[in-house]
């Protein structure tokens, strides 16, 4: 009887210990420092910043068109977003993509979102961009 209990209990204890160890090693979102490259001052970027701020340690917003100059050394994750079109005087204008960005200038995990993310992907010749779609 003791062998049966031991044979059942030991695997359960090992699984429980593994779960505890994995939980301790898992990075918490509340410790992440995020740089959001978007369009400062727009409702979209501000709304996204507020949403992220509820879940991560800090969110720094930088203009997406100045991404190549952004200091990413204090960040854990970069999120690239931003609008690709703007309306001016009743006309629709295409906004330029950021320039001067290379894979080496993005030294942290990077999430590319929407049209501006696709433009950055195109400039980096990533297969997830529009040109390769």
How far is residue 63's CA from residue 129's CA, in Å, rounded to a whole number? 20
Q: Where are the domains of the chain?
A: 29-123
Q: What tens digit of pLDDT does each residue of 32-88 get?
A: 999 999 999 998 899 999 999 999 999 999 999 999 999 999 999 999 998 888 777
Which tokens is 7 given?
A: 């044979």
Contact, 29 vs 55, CB < 8 A? Answer: yes
Q: Is the pLDDT of residue 26 over 70?
A: no
**pLDDT greater at residue 30 or residue 101:** 101
Neighbouring residues of 62: CB distance < 8 A, sequence distance ≥ 6: 35, 36, 37, 38, 40, 70
Q: What is the mean pLDDT of the chain?
A: 82
Please give the torsion angle defined by the CA atoms of residues 98, 99, 101 and 102, in that order, rounded to the nearest 10 degrees: 130
Kind plus residue range of the DSSP H or E element containing 38? strand 33-38
Which tokens is 129 given?
A: 């961009």
For domain 29-123, give its CATH number from 1.25.40, 3.40.190, 2.60.120, 3.40.50: 3.40.50
2 pLDDT band (50/70/90 cuts)?
low
Give this prediction's pTM.
Answer: 0.75
């Amino acid at each position: 009887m003791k062998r049966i209990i031991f044979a059942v209990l030991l695997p359960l204890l090992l699984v429980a210990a593994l779960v505890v160890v994995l939980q301790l090693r898992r990075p918490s979102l509340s410790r992440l420092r995020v740089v959001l490259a978007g369009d400062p001052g727009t409702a979209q970027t501000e709304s996204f910043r507020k949403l992220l701020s509820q879940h991560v340690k800090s969110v720094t917003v930088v203009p997406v068109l100045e991404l190549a100059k952004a200091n990413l050394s204090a960040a854990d994750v970069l999120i690239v977003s931003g609008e690709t079109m703007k309306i001016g005087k009743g006309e629709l204008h295409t906004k330029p993509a950021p320039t001067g960005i290379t894979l080496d200038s993005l030294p942290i995990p990077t999430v590319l979102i929407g049209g501006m993310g696709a433009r950055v992907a195109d400039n980096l010749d990533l297969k997830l961009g529009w040109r390769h779609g």
